[in-house]
Chains A and B, each alone.
Chain A
Amino acid sequence: MKLGSGYLFRGLNGSQLERLTASTRNVDVDSGEVICREGEEADAIYLLSSGAVELVTMVNSHIELPVSIVREPGQMFGSSALIEPHLYTLTAKCESAGNILAVDRHALQEYMSEDHEVGLAIMTNLATYLLSRLKESRQELKIHFKTLLRSFRA
């Protein structure tokens, strides 16, 4: 799996991607394995090579809410690593055994500081992605709001 297939690295040229590849490691993951946990320090960003990973959030100690499934090679998760306070905002659990590429957060940040063109491209891609997630969350909120309003009117 090549890094350039991940949304975060769109627009980077061959040599930029090559430099980033040096900061990645291949990780085999087994079904049921927790790759990263919500609230923990985020020291890597992940790109799926094979298998499937589910992203969930804890509502309380009993309820775990499904947020997304990552099952297409090249899909990424853990991008909150790039934003302060550098904590994972979701838990990633391996749903189907496979392989992921882990990009070291510190090495990535260092490169982004060194090469502002790379930094701008990555942060622009991240902003676009987060905006789409925000729209999705707002849509979800509107659905809950409509249900609540109807229940008051009933």
Chain B
Amino acid sequence: MGDQNQIRVENRGGLSILDITGDVTSASEPFFSEAYKHPDVDGVGKIVLKFDEGAYINSGGIAVLIQLLAESRRTAQKVGITGLSEHFKKIFHMVGITRFADIYASMDEALQAME
């Protein structure tokens, strides 16, 4: 699996979009950590994590997302997720991530629900 990610941060008013490219593994932690500290994300009330449809997220990647969701819960930031394949929607539901973040079918749906 690739160990490099690119996370592009975009701010739309009170909402930040983290556009994530590549597979998500434990090696992704510094990329997420850096993106989370970005001025366009830090302190923003709502965050959308946008994944590549073909991206693979392994147990290490799930650990990174749980870390981010725990932090966003502590800072009362609402998190939405989009771009997941059906496979990962099922896994996120199984491991309980959906209790801390809503999953949306598309970016439009996420924006509409969260803005």
Contact = CB atoms under 8 A, between A and B. Distances in A.
Interface in B1-19: 1
Nearest to A72: B1
Given A136-B25, A136-B26, A65 B70 contact: no
A63 interface: yes
B56 A136 contact: no
A146 B33 CA distance: 12
B1 A65 contact: no
B20 interface: no
Contact of B1 (A68, A140, A143, A154): A68
A22 B68 CA distance: 50
A124 interface: no
Interface in A91-144: 136, 139-140, 143-144
A139 B88 CA distance: 22
Interface string B48-76: 00000000111110111011001100100
A66 interface: yes
A136 B28 CA distance: 11
A64 B60 contact: no
Contact of A143 (B26, B56, B57): B26
Interface of A: 57, 62-69, 136, 139-140, 143-144, 146-147, 150-151, 154
17 contacts: A62-B94, A64-B94, A66-B59, A66-B91, A67-B58, A69-B58, A136-B25, A139-B27, A143-B64, A143-B67, A144-B63, A147-B63, A147-B66, A150-B71, A150-B74, A151-B70, A154-B74
6 A-B pairs with the lowest CB-CB distances in the bound complex, closest first: A139-B26, A140-B60, A143-B63, A69-B56, A140-B26, A147-B67
